[in-house]
Structure 1
Amino acid sequence: MDRPALKKDAKSILNSHFSFYFLLWLPVFILEAIGAILFYPDDPTNDALTTSEDIGLFLTFLAALMAIGLFFVSIDAIRQSLQYDQPLQKSFTLFSRGEYFLGTLLIYILIFIFSFLWSLLLIIPGIIKSMAYSQAYYIYRDAIDKGESIGYLEAITRSRQLMDGHKWEYFVMSLSFIGWGLLVAFTAGIAAIWVQPYMVLSFANFYNELIEQQTAANSQQPPVTDPPSTTTPDQLSNDQTPKA
């Protein structure tokens, strides 16, 4: 997989439509900022969460869910099927269909539980499994849009299968954004206005490439044919004889 090419395509899309992506991500940025401010404890020595911290935690969680909805917008951009209009309306893509919201929420919870349980064994298995589950949201959304019936666990299972042999590539892709993450930290989050859409577009492109590779591999498999008949001419004649 050509990682630099995937990131270059994502960067080209973002730079060509930056004003759209800025407005698209603006509600998420606002929720993240308010959530971070409220969640910061007034008294670090107090272990109990205050009401403001509870609200901050909820807003951060809501922002994370909304960001997953923007994964769907990003995959449409990668596939050149996105209309670059009404960015604020598209910010709430997750809530545009009940299946999107419910599926994303339950898959999010299941992935958290599974990753947490694997992490109880060792940190490394938890990270590996998190990467294996990373494509579940895209898979679920594609199935819903095609009218397919898909369960939440099935989406996670398909993600594991799709990521088989590609987890190292995903890991390297993640590492390639460390410098950008440091830039976001040094700018107190301001650089996220550009970096966050860039990362999401890049990983959407990663998923699209996986699907294209899977489709190409399936098309190269020989068709399944029925085994040759072992019926003899005599048997054929007997079978065709009318019975009383």
Structure 2
Amino acid sequence: MVERSVLKTNAKNQLRGKWGIAVVSFLIGIIIMGIFSGISNLIDSDGLKIVLGLITLLVTGAMCYGLCNISLNFANNNEVQISDIFAGFNSRVYLKTLGLNILIGIVVCIGTCIFIIPGIILALMYSQAFFILCEDNNKGVIECMKESSAMMKGHKCELFILELSFILWGILCVITFGIASLWVTPYMYVTYANYYKALMGVVQ
């Protein structure tokens, strides 16, 4: 597997000169995913909380797809547009993104309820599912999950360590009241996209 430092250096190089579009795109994605849950925490009406929860469910999968899609475009040095963040709302893939989000969420939730470690393992196991769907829209939900599970055999600890390597960046985001996350989030996602590409090379 490619070293973490190489994955991160590649991500920085791929984002060089494109930070503006990266920051705006990821900011839009983060706002859309967080706005409904944020509003839900501010209201007391159980009915409205349920409605906002359903809206969040309907939106999150498509936005996860969009974040992975735009990250892969950066990693592949493709032309990137802000509209790429909304690719998950395309009628061809929307129901698949919804299905992936629901199924992975249920599986990880069950694992976490049993004990936190199984939840982490399951999250790592299915971490590549959205990237797989981005690269081939013809694949089904279960197929993406199965392929992700197969890809991550022997690599879960590796990805976990890669994720832990961003802890200091996370602390910086907290210290700057989230301002640093405008740059850290694209950097992390493009690094994960490079990891997916490296993993594909190993598996194939």
TM-score (norm 1): 0.74
Q: Cα distance, 1:125 vs. partner?
A: 1.0
Q: Tell me which of 77, 96, 101 is aligned to 1:103.
A: 96
Counterpart check, 1:195 vs 2:184: yes
CA distance in 1, matches of 2:124, 2:107: 12
User: Percent of counterpart pairs with the same letter?
Assistant: 33
Task: Compute the displacement of 1:20 (Å).
Answer: 1.4
Among 160, 173, 179, which residue is 2:149 paired with?
160
Aligned match of 2:132? 139
Q: Would the aligned equivalents of 1:28 and 1:63 in 2 still touch at CA under 8 Å?
A: no
Distance 2:28 2:94 in 1: 17
Equivalent of 1:68 in 62, 65, 68: 65
**CA shift for structure 1 position 135:** 0.6
Moved over 4 A (4+): none
One-letter amino acid of the counterpart of residue 202, structure 2: Q
Give secondary structure in 2 for the equivalent of 1:189: coil
Q: Which of these residues, 75, 79, 82, is aligned with residue 78 of structure 1? A: 75
Amino acid at match of 1:24: S
Give the number of the structure whose residues are more often helix, by fraction. 2
Counterpart residue identity of residue 163, structure 1:
M
Deviation at 1:13, TM superposition (A): 1.8
Alignment check: 8 A CA contact 1:35 1:57 kept: no
Structure 2 equivalent of residue 39 of structure 1: 40
1:37, CA displacement in angstroms? 4.4
- Looking at structure 2, the residues matched to 30 and 195 of structure 1 have their Cα atoms a distance apart, in angstroms, of 15
Distance 1:109 1:52, change over 3 A: closer
Alignment CA distance shift 1:106-1:13 (3 Å):
same
Maintained 8 Å contact 1:41/1:53 = no
Give the AA of the match of 1:31. Answer: I
Q: Unaligned 5+ residue runs, structure 2?
A: none
In the alignment, is residue 90 of structure 1 matched against residue 80 of structure 2?
A: no
Whole-angstrom CA distance in 2 between matches of 1:190 and 1:67: 21
The structure-2 alpha-carbon separation of the partners of 1:9 and 1:154, relative to structure 1 and needing over 3 Å to count, comes to: same
Contact 1:14/1:21, CA 8 A, preserved across alignment: yes
Structure 1 Cα separation of the partners of residues 35 and 118 of structure 2: 33
Counterpart-to-counterpart distance in 1, 2:190 and 2:124: 17
- Match in the other structure for 2:174: 185
Deviation at 1:92, TM superposition (A): 1.2
C-alpha separation in 2, matches of 1:79 and 1:114: 31
Q: Equivalent residues in 2 for 1:10-21 (5 A)?
A: 10-21=11-22
Normalised to the residue count of structure 2, the TM-score between the two structures is 0.87
Checking the alignment, whether the CA contact within 8 Å between 1:68 and 1:94 is kept in structure 2 is yes
Q: Indicate if the aligned counterparts of 1:36 and 1:56 stay in contact, CA closer than 8 A.
A: yes
Q: Which residue does the alignment assign to 1:55?
A: 52
CA shift digits 1:186-221 (9 cap, x unpaired): 222222111111111010110000011122xxxxxx
Distance 1:36 1:94 in 2: 19
Q: Which runs of 5 or more structure 1 residues have no equivalent in the other structure?
A: 216-244
**Cα distance in structure 2, aligned partners of 1:187 and 1:67:** 25
8 Å Cα contact 1:35/1:58 also seen in 2: yes
Shift of 1:151: 2.4
Q: CA RMSD in A?
A: 2.5
Query: In the alignment, is the contact (CA less than 8 A) between 2:61 and 2:88 conserved in 1?
Result: no
Question: C-alpha separation between the residues in 2 aligned to 1:185 and 1:36?
Answer: 20
